[in-house]
């Protein structure tokens, strides 16, 4: 083993492991923002979205991520919004 190699190994041994708490914070901020957005939505929304994607996919080749289902509550009524991005050339 070369001297340089030995030195690198000694330095690695002395080096502190990488700090990780900022990963924790970033990951939490992202997932919690997402989950808060889902919080007031009814549970059937995910299932509805899946079914809608399946139906549309029978007719058009769509990207499964290109369908957005959203429920917005307004005073006295709710709006179910369906947003489908169709591929080019149709």
Binding residues (CB under 8 A) for another protein: these are 16, 19-22, 24-25, 27-29, 31-32, 35-36, 39-40
| Of 17 and 89, CB closest to another protein | 17
Instruction: Tell me the closest approach of the beta carbon of residue 61 to another protein, in angstroms.
Output: 36
CB of 3 to another protein, least distance (A): 31
Q: CA-to-CA distance for 41 and 57, rounded, in angstroms?
A: 24
Nearer to another protein, 5 or 21 (CB): 21
| DSSP output for 55-69 | HHHHHS---GGGEEE
Choose between 16 and 58: whose C-beta lies nearer to another protein.
16
SS3 22: helix
Contact 68, 52 (CB under 8 A): no
């Amino acid at each position: 083993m070369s001297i340089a190699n030995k030195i690198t190994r000694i330095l690695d041994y002395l080096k502190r492991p990488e700090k990780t708490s900022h990963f924790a914070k970033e990951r939490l901020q992202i997932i919690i923002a997402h989950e808060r957005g889902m919080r007031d939505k009814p549970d059937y929304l995910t299932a509805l979205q899946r079914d809608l994607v399946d139906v549309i996919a029978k007719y058009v080749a769509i990207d499964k991520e290109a369908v957005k289902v959203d429920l917005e509550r307004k005073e006295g009524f709710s709006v179910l919004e369906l947003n489908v991005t169709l591929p080019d050339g149709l």
